[in-house]
Structure 1
Amino acid sequence: MTNLSEFSSQLADTAEAVAASLVTVHAARPISGSVVGDDLILTVAHVLNGDEVTVSTPDGRHLTASVVGRDPGSDLALLRAGGLSLAPLSPAPAPRVGELLLAVGRPERGPQASLGLLRQSGLERGWLPAGAEPFPGVSGGALVDVCGGLVGVLNAGTPRRGLLAVPAARALKVAELLSQTGRVPRGYLGLATQPVVLPGTGAVGDMQDTPQDGRPPQEDGRSPRGPWDRAWGPEGRGPWGGRGPWGKPGPRGGQGPRGPWDREGGDPRSAGRGRGRDEDGRAGGWGRGPRWPEGTRLGLTAVQVETGSPAAQAGLKVGDILLSLDGEGVRHPRELLERVQSRAGDTLTARILRGGEEQDVALTVGER
């Protein structure tokens, strides 16, 4: 019991120490901000409406902070508050599976914390699952290890459910770029792709009858169903219901959720399939259509490689199938875009399938 009490006391001490480097950001709704440098604060961008915002410090001061820049790719914004005089958080080593983590925020009512457990290795579309319960105002707060080292900057307003964090290394890089230039270069590969079901993985139907984009035909031979929504629809609607894949309006007829480019959220009659609302009031959520049979592998087949692009320089060719980036699978072109748009200049390990054999390719993300 003594050891447990000591451990509990240590967690409380850690939460208190971390909270001393957090501020309250009075945005569209009160959120948290993590101090990462002299007068510099990282917070989430999606609730900041103007170029200035008021922040409250742990000692009760109210300061005006200017928005230095925003990064849509990570949903982070960098604030500068003159005279802040708070110690910045220090990055921690990469956490291991099974490690306890603390989600610490400073909403209006004062410091709050939630205990989590890192349940898996790797990232989910560039995000680190916090393994902790979200609470109002946690976004912009700090995900830390039991010693108080910064593991990530929290965000409860992502398209995916649950409390996630931008990994500390990426968050601090974003802060550095924003402080220097006010922007984060947008990454690109110069690669056009479409989803494909990999042969021999238990996909529905005969692979020879499967369209190249990986959508198995229905039993009645009509419009195919895909993994990202319920149906493509008899009237030629796109895979996200009433809007086609390029965002052009289609016949809704009261059916189908809105797509990932529609910021207004999902049709309430399509519960569980469209984009809902999260704790921070932000539309989010990938379509939740029927699952592929267990064992099915999806990849992205290259249908076009731009001449002179990063993809071409890495040796990628039309017909190559992209399986993963840095060990994390990619199943949709939109997901690929999200994964690379904030990684300009980074070199990723791309696993591809070419001629029936898997191989790793070093792929440096370009900038534009």
Structure 2
Amino acid sequence: MSTYEKDAQALDAYSHAVTTSAERVGPAVVRIDVEREGRRYGYYGAPPRSGGGLGSGFIFSSDGQILTNAHVVENAGHIQVTLADGRKFDAGLVGSDPEVDVAILRIGADHLPVAELGRTPLRVGQLVIAVGNPYGLNWTVTAGVISALDRTLEAPGVRRMTRLIQTDTSINPGNSGGPLVDSAGRVIGITTAMMPMAQGLGFSVPLDVVKDVIARVAHKRTVAPGGVSVGVGGMRVRLEESQRHSSGLTQQFGMEVLEIRPGSPAEQAELKRLDIIITADGEAVTEPRDLQRIVRRHKVGEKLALSFLRGGKQRRVTVVL
């Protein structure tokens, strides 16, 4: 094979990875338009402004929950989300953590396409793709590599941010809040900032930090009327093919535990963070609302049988509610 043919083959493989990744996450990427209240100073030294703002986000739960940057929706009087299929919805702010620049929105829609979240360690040099709405240009794709991990970002007049992913992926105004994904289209972070006066440097909030915010916001939803609760917060995740095969599972998703409340039934049953709950009372659990629905049928003091995955192996435990 000639050098030209080898180069062409490598380019084809690169293009295929970028194209496939973008196609997988694209349906879950949204545009966020914001009408702001009052005046504020823009993120990373932008001039003071009022009125409208633009950002990106992505759906992480099929019941209309969306992740974006806290600064995208800061001081928002009205938030509108546009889906990849063109539908528009008013959005409410579910929760926000400005310290790590993560916010959760919700729209009145269901059965939506969901971005898959990654679970593998990141490496410097690996291919990454950013999808968003730079300058209002809907669903634009840029690619690059991870150039550093665990970066700290400081700029005049803004919050100090730590544990960031640094990339050379082109990031422009409007990209903020969009997903940074790996070559398989799995989200590994949320695009957050571009360093002023530093050509070609972009930063993203890593998925571990994002999951912590999701857990703090979501754990309240596992509490049913009457105070019946398992005491966990979590999110929907796709099960690995090897896990499904070894456990004989037909479902594709489970609920990954991200937070366990101290003294809760879950803690007493020795559930651990990152366990993946797959059934409750023999019924499939594919996301937090499945567990919530099943828990609602119980009373305080009753028992709930849970099956879960830990370290690739299926386990069972009985929780006293």
TM-score by length of 2: 0.52
Aligned partner of 2:116 in structure 1 is 90
Q: In structure 1, list runs of 5 or more residues that go unmatched.
A: 183-368
Q: Which residue of 1 aligns with 2:142?
A: 114
Report Cα offsets for 1:169-190 as digits up to 9, x if no partner.
Answer: 21122123223459xxxxxxxx
Residue 29 (structure 1) aligned with residue 29 (structure 2): no
Matched, 1:150 2:177: no
1: CA distance between counterparts of 2:192 and 2:179?
9
How much does 1:121 deviate? 4.1
- Out of 80, 84, 99, the position equivalent to 1:73 is 99
How many residues were matched structurally? 182
- Change in Cα spacing, 1:88 to 1:51, as seen in structure 2 (3 Å) is farther
Report deviation, 1:140: 0.5
* 3-state SS of 1:119 partner: strand
Aligned counterpart in structure 1 of residue 169 of structure 2, from 132, 153, 171? 132
**1:317-332 correspondence to structure 2 within 5 Å:** none
Cα deviation for residue 50 of structure 1 reads 2.6
Residue in structure 2 matched with residue 46 of structure 1 by the alignment? 71
Unpaired segments of 5 or more residues in structure 2?
A: 1-7, 35-51, 153-161, 222-321
**What pairs with 1:208-357 in structure 2 (closer than 5 Å)?**
none
Shift in alpha-carbon separation, 1:88–1:172, aligned structure 2, 3 A: farther
Query: Is the CA contact 2:176–2:192 (under 8 Å) kept in the aligned structure 1?
Result: yes
Q: How much has 1:116 moved relative to structure 2?
A: 1.6
Of the three residues 9, 12, 17, the one matched with 2:24 is: 17
Whether the 8 Å CA contact 2:149–2:164 is kept in 1: the answer is no
Question: Distance in 2 between the 1:160 and 1:177 partners?
Answer: 35
Choose the corresponding residue for 2:131, options 104, 125, 141: 104
Pick the structure with more strand per residue.
2
- Letter paired with 1:165: S
| Structure 2 counterparts to residues 183-202 of structure 1, below 5 A | none
Cα separation, partners in 2 of 1:88 and 1:176, compared to 1, 3 Å: farther
Greater helix fraction, Structure 1 or Structure 2: 2
For the residue of structure 1 that corresponds to 2:22, the secondary structure is helix
Deviation track 1:221-280 (CA, whole Å, cap 9, x = no partner) reads xxxxxxxxxxxxxxxxxxxxxxxxxxxxxxxxxxxxxxxxxxxxxxxxxxxxxxxxxxxx
Between 1:98-107 and 1:43-52, the stretch displaced more is 43-52
Matches of 2:216 and 2:59 in 1, distance apart? 16
Q: Measured at CA, do residues 52 and 85 of structure 1 come closer, stay the same or move farther in structure 2, by a change above 3 Å?
A: farther
Output the amino acid matched with 1:35: I
CA RMSD in angstroms comes to 2.4
Equivalent residue letter for 2:145: L
For the pair shown, the structure with the greater C-alpha radius of gyration is 1
Percentage identity across aligned positions?
30
AA of the residue aligned to 2:127: L
Task: Give the letter aligned to residue 211 of structure 2.
Answer: L
Q: How far apart, in 2, do the equivalents of 1:88 and 1:77 lie?
A: 17
Matches within 5 A, 1:153-164: 153-156=190-193, 162-164=201-203
Q: 1:12 to 1:112 in 2, by over 3 A?
A: same
Tell whether 2:87 aligns with 1:61: yes
Q: Cα distance, 1:3 vs. partner?
A: 4.2
Relative to the length of structure 1, the TM-score reads 0.46
Residue number in structure 1 paired with 2:215: 176
Residue 256 of structure 2: aligned partner: none
Structure 1 residue identity aligned to 2:204: A
Counterpart in the other structure of 2:155:
none
Paired AA for residue 14 in structure 2: F
More displaced 10-residue stretch of structure 1: 165-174 or 84-93: 84-93
3-state SS of the aligned residue for 1:7? Answer: helix
CA contact under 8 A between 1:69 and 1:179: conserved in structure 2?
no
Structure 2 letter corresponding to 1:118: I
Q: In structure 2, how many angstroms separate the alpha carbons of the residues matched to 1:159 and 1:40?
A: 31
Residue 15 of structure 1 contacts residue 148 of structure 1 at CA under 8 Å; is this kept in 2?
yes
Q: Deviations over 1:67-108 (max 9, x none)?
A: 011101111111011215322222221211111111111353
- Counterpart of 2:72, as a letter, is V
